Amino acid sequence: MALLETRGLTAAYGDFQALFGVDITVGAGETIAIIGANGAGKTTLMRSISGVLANATESILYRDEPIGALPAPDILARGIAMVPEGRKLFPSLTVEENLLIGNYGRKVVGPWTLESIFALFPILKERRSNPATALSGGQQQMVAIGRALMSNPEVLLCDEISLGLAPVVVRDIYAAFPRIRETGASIVIVEQDIAQALNVADRVYCMMEGRVTLTGRSTDLSRDDIHKAYFGTEHHELA
């Protein structure tokens, strides 16, 4: 049974429609990846699920409850936390304060505490009193992930966590994911790096121009299928 599901999800910024009927499902404990080029609608999908964008109420279901129209604090309270694109750390807060604020709207007992996040990313403990924006990009991404984990989410949404980071740093960050999966949380990863996505996810959705163009188990998809779904068909007709 699906834990989280979108049904014919549409989203628009004013006159510009970004999603045209997206259907995805996320099972309990499952890790899925959403891949696609810039402008495919991946971030819009994450913003819709997390409540930053309001949608038709029936278009997003969580534990069979319609949540599409709920604002972000209500989504978090239900157990869906997001690592936003671009990290979005609070510059006025220290590293430790950025982590502590992660459970402001959802205080549940679970595997994630300040101590267990410092154990996951030991460098953050050393830098706990620094302003969050004084850290390197990779360390900032660790803070953003730790901040989302502080609410002990049932679903963790990660939007472009490797964006702008060196490959070696990306590897360090993804090394934390097996530990996050062990806690039983479902994970949704938005990723432009196809190899990284196939490596970490059970299933993959490929998006293009606001629609899902391909879906399947990571092990079943061929490189060629993904390439076509990612970039579209070989030739575009000129209007």
Partner 1 sequence: MNWLDTILQGVLLGGLYALFAAGLSLVFGIMRLVNLAHGDLIVLAAFLILVLVTTLGLNPFISALVAMPLMFAIGWALQYFLLNRTLGKDILPPLLVTFGLSIVIQNGLLEGFSADSRRVFAGSIESASVNLGPVTAGIMPLMTFFSAVAVIVGLNQLIYRTSVGRAFRATSDDPVTAGLMGIRPQRIFAMATGLAMVVVTIAALYLGTRANFDPTSGPSRLIYAFEAVIIGGLGSLWGTLAGGIILGVAQTVGAAINPEWQILAGHLAFLGVLLFKPRGLFPRAVD
Binding site for partner 1 (CB under 8 A): 50-52, 71-73, 76-77, 81-82, 84, 88, 90-93, 97, 100-106, 147, 151
Q: How far is the CB of 161 from partner 1 (least distance, A)?
A: 15
Tell me the CA end-to-end span of the chain in Å, nearest whole number. Answer: 43
Our CA angle for 131, 136, 137, nearest 5°, is: 110
Q: How far is the CB of 106 from partner 1 (least distance, A)?
A: 6
Look up residue 26 and give its two tokens. 């996320």
| Complex with partner 1: residue 104 or 231, whichever CB lies closer | 104
| Complex with partner 1: residue 85 or 193, whichever CB lies closer | 85
Taking the CA atoms of residue 53, residue 54, residue 60 and residue 61 in that order, the dihedral angle to the nearest 10 degrees is 110
Q: How far is the CB of 121 from partner 1 (least distance, A)?
A: 19
| Complex with partner 1: residue 157 or 194, whichever CB lies closer | 157
Q: How far is the CB of 85 from partner 1 (least distance, A)?
A: 11
| Complex with partner 1: residue 94 or 218, whichever CB lies closer | 94
| Complex with partner 1: residue 106 or 127, whichever CB lies closer | 106
DSSP string covering 52-72? SS---GGGEEETTEE-TT--H
Q: How far is the CB of 30 from partner 1 (least distance, A)?
A: 22
H runs (alpha helix) in the chain: 42-49, 72-78, 95-100, 114-120, 122-126, 137-149, 167-174, 177-182, 194-200, 223-231
